Structure 1
Amino acid sequence: MDQKLNMIKEIANSKTWVTFLSDNHPFSLLHWSIAGANQEEKDVWLIQDEVTFDVQEYETMEAALQWIRENMQEITDVLG
């Protein structure tokens, strides 16, 4: 699992997004930076379920990776 998480981290750092499979279910980890109503930048990492499009927001990539580590049993493929 740690090897797959390292792959996810490396690809997300270089491309700002990565798609992966957990129990044959597709998810993406992606960086999202937007300007709000007051032109404040929002710098977050998202884990998106690619079937339902549900999204969870994390302040850092490390927080998102920690959630994956704790809540996903197995990463079967990293799809870059």
Structure 2
Amino acid sequence: MITFSSLEKLKAYIQGNVMTTSEVLDYLKISRPGLKDLIDRGKLAPLKEEKATRLFFRADVEARKREADELKKKYRPYD
């Protein structure tokens, strides 16, 4: 369990390790339907989901990007 000695340290942790839907879309260079498809297929899971807002762990998003890049190299080497 992670504990924080101050509110500022908690905020810094969240800002550095949590991404919004818009940040994920920009980082992965995908559309909202593409993100929904990743979530539906279990390839990316939101940390928290409330109505129109989703939050994601940065490490999960970065791992998905690495996986997608490897698949592109394998199946689309001409791109």
Give the TM-score normalised by the residue count of structure 2.
0.28
In our comparison, the structure showing a higher alpha carbon Rg is 2
Greater fraction helix:
2
After TM superposition, the score normalised by the length of structure 1 is: 0.28
